[in-house]
Chain A
Amino acid sequence: MAKSRATVVVENNGLLFSSLAEQVKLPFVQIAHAAELHKLQPSKQNLSELHKTIAVTSAAALQLIDGYLLHIRLQQQAELRLEPVSISSLLYDTAQKLDAFAKAHDCVLQLDVKGKYGPVMGRHDVLKTALESLGYAFVEALSGQNDKKPVLKLIARRSKQGLATGIYSELDSLSAKLFRQAKFLKGIARQPLNEFTPGSGAGVFVADALLSRLDCTMKVSKYQGFNGLSVTLAPSHQLSLV
């Protein structure tokens, strides 16, 4: 018997929550280890590391939890009212938010927004949370694979359908097939996204869930030799001056 839509939604939320819970263990482990280090070897340096670890990792964990909660809230809304959103300013804010986390993981963050882009139709809170979730997930993925200092790019570019925006890196392990399979197996300890990231990849799944509520499909795409996940948004004509 086919599952009802409600059953599918509940099951998906359960898998997403499992994935999130697995991911959120990591910041707690990092904080616990930093605290133990300072307890065993009290020093100014270890105290400073403890403060830094708490600040950086708790921000990432809280962001992920907020993303999940936003997804649940959006599911409860029958209709989502879209609004004009400036992608350039959104990417700038996202880069600012990710900066400390990227530095802690030795990642170089680059903003690639060439040219002037008009607003797109979307929801500022949803797009911001989705891009941040994706950003945190990419930083952790890069940190786990590269010996050299990896580069993470936040990109906006014109496409035939509107404005494409997303997060890109030099990692080539992320493919459309892998991403498709991973979405079905999220919440499982060893799932296909482990080819890309050592964690549960919850940030990727949360971003995907949020963007799907905007009727956008997050896709694996390539741009100037970089590989990433992006979404295409329709332009808003509400604020066009010409």
Chain B
Amino acid sequence: MNILLLEPNRLLAKQYTDFLESVGHKVIWRQNAQSGIGAADELKPDIVISEILLTGHSGVEFLYEFRSYGDWQNIPVILLGNVKKGDSGLSVEALKELKVGAYFYKPQMKLADLAKTVQLLTDA
């Protein structure tokens, strides 16, 4: 699978990339929303994994922009955050509207679960 990863922290991005590539995916990493949109255009990702707190435009702002393009309406998205879903400011309606497949609270997330969710959402 082609994965577009939006993660502002270089060390975390390397960990996610190393693991996801070791289980057979191709990962393109970008640090912010603006370069993420450009990368999505080039890469044609099968799935997007994005941190909600990016610098400049947030992951949610990225997602609104991303979903505004017809071609990207049904590409699965996983959100990652350092805050719990309830504290993220994202309502259930917003997550539904943005077609967010899963939300992971990073401090409790396992890399294995992230990989499983990628598989699950792209198989669906």
What residues make up the interface of A, taking CB atoms closer than 8 Å to B? 22, 25-26, 28-30, 32-34, 36-37, 40-41, 53, 56-57, 104-106, 140-141, 143-147, 173, 189-190, 194-199
Contacts and interface: CB of A to CB of B under 8 A. Distances in A.
Contacts of B111: 33, 36-37, 40
B122 interface: no
Given A36-B111, A190-B89, A198-B51, A145 B8 contact: yes
B9 A33 contact: no
B10 A53 contact: no
A144 B15 contact: no
B41 interface: no
Given A144-B55, A145-B56, A198-B53, A33 B15 contact: yes
Interface in B64-93: 82-83, 87-89
Nearest to A41: B22
Contacts of B106: 25, 29
B24 interface: no
A145 B31 contact: yes
A110 B122 CA distance: 45
Contacts of B87: 189
Contact of B55 (A28, A40, A173): A173
B11 A53 contact: yes
Contacts of B112: 36, 40
A37 B19 contact: yes
Nearest to B80: A29
Contacts of B15: 30, 33-34, 37
A104 B11 contact: yes
Nearest to B53: A198
A158 to B, nearest CB: 33
A2 to B, nearest CB: 31
B44 interface: no
Nearest to B11: A30
Contact of A40 (B19, B31, B32, B53): B19
B2 interface: no
B11 A198 contact: no
B82 A195 contact: no
- Most chain B Cβ neighbours within 10 Å, of A40, A146, A198: A198
B91 to A, nearest CB: 15
A57 B12 CA distance: 11
